Amino acid sequence: MTSYSFISGEKWEFNEKARVDSLVLDACRRFGTSPAIVCGDITMSFEQLLSRADEIATTLAATGTVPGTTVALAVGNRPGDIAAQLGVWLAGCSVVPLNVALPPKAVERVLRRSGARRIVSAEGALPSSWAGHYPSRVTHPREGLQVVELDAPRAPVEVKQDTALVAFSSGSTSEPKAIELAHAAFANKLMAIQSVLGFRPGQRALHVLQLNFTFGQWTSLLTLLTGGVLEVLPAFSARKVSARLSEGDIDRVAVVPTMLRMLLRVAGSGPAIDAAARGDVGPGLWITGGEPLSAGLGRKVQQRYPGSSITDVYGLSETSTSDLILRAEHYAEGAGTIGTPSPGVSCRIDAAPGEAGEICIKTPFLMSGYLSSDEATHPSEPDGWFRTGDVGRLRPDGRVEIVGREKTMISRGAVKVSPLEIESAYAENPSWTDCIAVGVPDDVLGERIHLLIALEGDSPAPEELRQWGKAHLEPGKIPDTFHIVNRLPLGETGKVDRRAAAARVRRIPA
């Protein structure tokens, strides 16, 4: 008989009529001339944001874009991108965020699987590299705005009328999936997150996450909904972010842990600075998500940025993100966990308390379904539990700890080994911040454990690395082989790409 562990968040009163565009409209009217978006020397007020969105909605209607159309929006963390997203919603259409940095083949995939009938760019022409990679019919140029009509797809994709976003999973462990998120589900989740994090008017958020990433969507939208200032960087640069933070006026930054590792490497490359003399060189709050934040990495961040707090969030695009949250005020005792369920969310672990099992989520914020997929629309049980594919355990203190992902567990000598456990152990070493463990097929053991460590400068001897493992891991979990690399491979959302890392190891001569 299967044992289960359960934990639930506070009750949430779901508003069926809530819409994301209505929330943004209300914020624009309430905060008026206050600054909404900043990018370099450009400042756009809430009033100007709404005016630009109205212009874009009018242009879409003039080009024959009818309500219910799925619109691919070229995004690159620019002020016009957010105005265009609101404009598409005001036109009654669904948004498919399309990162301008995507290669042409990825663009083809997104357009095909999302059923998009238009591409919109509110910041000039589309990338020249995309030319010829989408079946366009007519292009409608306007000043600073381009609307491209697309040929009807060979296999029509039905997108629901109430869809706010068609988001794509990161694809770091499998083929990216097209995910339909309804206005009501995403709007309610934004309000539920706000009830936990309490963003305030006038707070300045440095935004480095791309808008094709649902983590980037909710952090940017919630900043605007609460009257904050969204300072956008077109692309993440550890040196630029570090320099901007040193000015001391950033209230929060949302990042994936890989970005924190890059920041620590930049910080560590300069002259040593005493922590007391360094003061507040970080934001008031780091919001981390997208991949696990180990306790070791969290400690290094706190040592380098002693004036900053950390909130860690866990969630899937399928569940409108942020299913569990480790609040900043609980980080000290909860480091290395993903905290407790957010309002409206229940969490079940398919194992007894303290033991590892798959994490399942029951939530009113669930996606409408997958598009263009042979998989079941909802990989959930008849009673509504969504199977995440992540493995975790419920600790005695009531917090959930991620152990790994079912698809990435390493089977070494018939023993299941979590890559995250290995990575967390090696993340404690002060000599580096980046590492990833992968399994590679082996005729004798089934799989052998390979650890890639990103490190500049002198490489430690393999025996030194092995001794570190002996001091922190059980014997069967110590890596068999170590690889020192300049950097780890990253996916489209900035997270470490585990599949690419495994492929890289397999190409290395034995």
Model pLDDT, residue 241: 95
For the chain, residues classed under CATH 3.30.300.30 are: 409-506
3-state secondary structure of 388: strand
The CATH number assigned to the domain with range 409-506 reads 3.30.300.30
Q: Is 79 helix (H, G, I), strand (E, B) or coil?
A: helix
Phi (first) and psi of residue 461, to 5 degrees: -70, 145
Task: Tell me which residue has tokens 């409408």.
Answer: 368
SS3 2: coil
Residue intervals in the chain for CATH 3.40.50.980: 47-181
Predicted local distance difference test score (pLDDT) of residue 278 = 44
- The SS3 of residue 453 is strand
* Residue 496 DSSP label: B
Distance CA 350, CA 3 (A): 6
CATH number for 47-181: choose from 1.10.540.10, 3.30.565.10, 3.40.50.980, 1.10.10.60: 3.40.50.980
In order of 62, 241, 436, 483, the CA distances from 81 in angstroms are 20, 21, 34, 40
* 3-class DSSP string for 185-232: HHHHHHHHHHHHHCCCCCCEEEECCCCCCHHHHHHHHHHHHCCCEEEE
Whether the Cβ atoms of residue 259 and residue 226 lie closer than 8 Å to each other: no
Under 8 Å between Cβ of 130 and 108? no
CATH no. for 236-406: 3.40.50.12780
Rounded mean pLDDT for each run of 10 residues along the chain, 510 residues in total: 88 97 98 97 97 94 92 95 97 95 85 89 88 76 84 76 89 70 98 98 97 95 98 94 94 92 72 42 93 89 93 96 97 96 97 92 94 57 83 95 82 77 87 87 82 86 91 86 90 79 82
Question: Could you read off the pLDDT of 312-364 as tens digits, one per residue?
Answer: 999 999 999 999 999 999 999 999 999 999 999 999 999 999 998 999 999 99
> d(Cα 65, Cα 144) in Å, to the nearest integer?
18
How do residues 256-288 score in pLDDT, each as one tens digit? 888 898 898 886 544 434 444 444 479 999 999
Burial of 430 (0-12, 13-18, 19+ CB in 10 A): exposed
Q: Directed axis angle between helix 79-90 and helix 46-62, to 10°?
A: 50
Burial of 506 (0-12, 13-18, 19+ CB in 10 A): exposed
- Both tokens of residue 226? 């609460």
Contact 406, 389 (CB under 8 A): yes
Task: Determine the 3-state secondary structure of 94 from DSSP.
Answer: strand
| Positive or negative torsion for Cα 223, 229, 234, 237 | negative
- 3-state SS of the chain: helix, strand, coil percent to 5? 30, 25, 40
CB atoms within 10 A of CB 416: 13
Asked if 439 contacts 351 with a C-beta cutoff of 8 angstroms, the reply is no
Q: Are 295 and 335 in contact (CB under 8 A)?
A: yes
As a whole number of angstroms, the distance between CA 432 and CA 297 comes to: 10
**Alpha carbon separation from 126 to 99, 119, 129, 216, 357 (Å, rounded):** 11, 9, 9, 21, 45
427 is written with which tokens? 């993340």
Q: How far apart are CA 483 and CA 398, in angstroms?
A: 37
Calculate the alpha carbon distances from 68 to 92, 117, 165, 212, 336 in Å. 6, 10, 12, 20, 43
CATH 3.40.50.12780 location in the chain: 236-406
SS3 140: strand
Q: Quick check: 456 and 238 in contact, CB under 8 A?
A: no
Closest alpha carbon to 59 in 96, 90, 97: 90
**Helix runs in 305-368, H state only:** 331-334
pTM over 0.75? The answer is yes
The answer to whether 34 and 226 are in contact (CB under 8 A) is no
